[in-house]
């Protein structure tokens, strides 16, 4: 099989250690990292966000080394600015209205076009790129992998609070981000040319100026030969990031293996997959999702175990069995959202929730 290389991007919160509020790093973390991390550390639209991204990793072990290294480095850079680094899909109580936008022509254009939807988009995600052979395979992967997005999303849910309120969702981040156009579960495309014609039509008609303004939960990257998963909340522990990335890579390998054997995984309507995505956002691991083949509700945890069985025959070839099996620990200890809510039930104090996020972000480093 191909190598199915990996690239992982994580968006972190920069937090004032005294107030526990989000606080702008004024690009100082980015500038401070230029010498050591170069283009691996970037500013984002809001000044309280810093993104780090791995180099191209040839296997999950390389990805693990890079993710842990980048977390350590960005935490050290933040310490020099008297800041802390947190990993969660939303901040428990900071208000987006209080957070300045990073001065940049690109962000200025987005804010001008999307207005309040852009200004309020103070959310944090984790993206994973998996290398593919060509765009034709990429479109096939995008069509097929859509079915598994809610399963992966349920594992990552880590944003139960928004502006000091308990939202009732395990991931409110996705509800905030859905205000943007061209988000969510993508539709079905017949071929790479069908997909490219769609992109060109959007560009020609002024909807977008390039393919990076397609913000779907999974997309064929417009410039690289990668399939990019974009659905996940930012997860607290680096171990959680690596585990979910390993499952994502294994899914690509499994679908590729089936295709090479002239076997196809059934493709379902976007509208049906969206039903499972909503359930994952609302209930995380603790609800039911729909098994469309059986046409019945199944506990989400059971479906994730079935997913692990589905990819079991490729994980040893990828060298990722240890990382994939960490998913079992994630289901045992609960998602980031479950753990945030547990701390809040025990303390009634959202500052204590922030303290917990900070501690978990550094776990194992």
**What stretch of H or E contains 288?**
strand 288-291
Confidence band, pLDDT 50/70/90 cuts, at residue 73? very high
Judge whether residue 99 has pLDDT over 80. Answer: yes
Provide φ and ψ at 57, rounded to 5°. -110, 135
| Domains identified in the chain and CATH numbers | 6-361 (3.30.590.20)
Judge whether residue 335 has pLDDT over 90. Answer: yes
Q: Among 33-37, 159-163, 251-255, where is mean pLDDT lowest?
A: 33-37
Q: Among 1-5, 12-16, 165-169, 355-359, where is mean pLDDT lowest?
A: 1-5
CA distance 97 to 109: 19
Q: Among 2-6, 61-65, 302-306, where is mean pLDDT lowest?
A: 2-6
Determine the pLDDT at residue 36: 77
CA distance 25 to 77: 10
CA distance 180 to 193: 26
Report, as an integer, the average pLDDT of 244-272.
Answer: 95
Confidence band, pLDDT 50/70/90 cuts, at residue 34? confident
Which pair of structure tokens corresponds to residue 305? 């175990």
Confidence band, pLDDT 50/70/90 cuts, at residue 105? confident
Mean of the per-residue pLDDT values for the chain?
A: 95
């Amino acid at each position: 099989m191909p190598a199915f290389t990996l690239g992982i991007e994580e968006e972190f919160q920069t937090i004032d250690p005294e107030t526990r509020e989000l606080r702008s790093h004024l690009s100082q973390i980015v500038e401070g990292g230029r010498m050591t991390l170069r283009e691996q550390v970037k500013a984002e639209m809001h000044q309280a966000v810093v993104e780090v991204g791995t180099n191209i990793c040839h296997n999950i072990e390389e990805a693990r080394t890079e993710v842990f290294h980048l977390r350590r480095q960005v935490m050290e850079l933040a310490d020099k600015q008297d800041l802390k680094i947190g990993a969660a899909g939303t901040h428990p109580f900071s208000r987006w209205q209080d957070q300045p936008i990073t001065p940049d022509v690109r962000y200025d254009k987005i804010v001008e076009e999307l207005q309040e939807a852009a200004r309020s988009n103070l959310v944090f995600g984790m993206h994973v790129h998996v290398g593919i052979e060509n765009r034709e395979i990429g479109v096939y992967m995008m069509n097929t992998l859509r079915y598994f997005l809610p399963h992966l999303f349920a594992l990552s849910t880590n944003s139960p609070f928004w502006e000091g309120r308990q939202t009732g969702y395990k991931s409110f981040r996705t509800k905030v981000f859905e205000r943007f156009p061209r988000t969510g579960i993508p539709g079905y495309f017949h071929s790479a040319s069908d997909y490219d014609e769609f992109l060109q039509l959007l560009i020609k008609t002024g909807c977008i100026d390039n393919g990076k303004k397609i913000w779907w939960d999974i997309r064929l990257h417009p410039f690289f030969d990668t399939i990019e998963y974009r659905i996940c909340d930012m997860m607290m522990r680096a171990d959680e990031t690596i585990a979910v990335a390993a499952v994502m890579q294994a899914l690509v390998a499994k679908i590729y293996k089936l295709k090479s054997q002239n076997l196809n995984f059934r493709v379902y309507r976007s509208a049906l997959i969206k039903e499972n995505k909503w359930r994952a956002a609302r209930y995380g691991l603790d609800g039911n999702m729909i098994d469309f083949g059986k046409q019945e509700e199944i506990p989400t945890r059971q479906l994730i175990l079935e997913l692990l069985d589905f990819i079991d025959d490729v994980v040893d070839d990828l060298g990722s069995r240890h990382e994939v099996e960490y998913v079992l620990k994630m289901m045992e200890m609960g998602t980031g959202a479950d753990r945030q809510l547990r701390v809040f039930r025990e303390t009634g104090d959202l500052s204590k929730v922030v303290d917990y996020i900070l501690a978990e972000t550094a776990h194992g480093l």
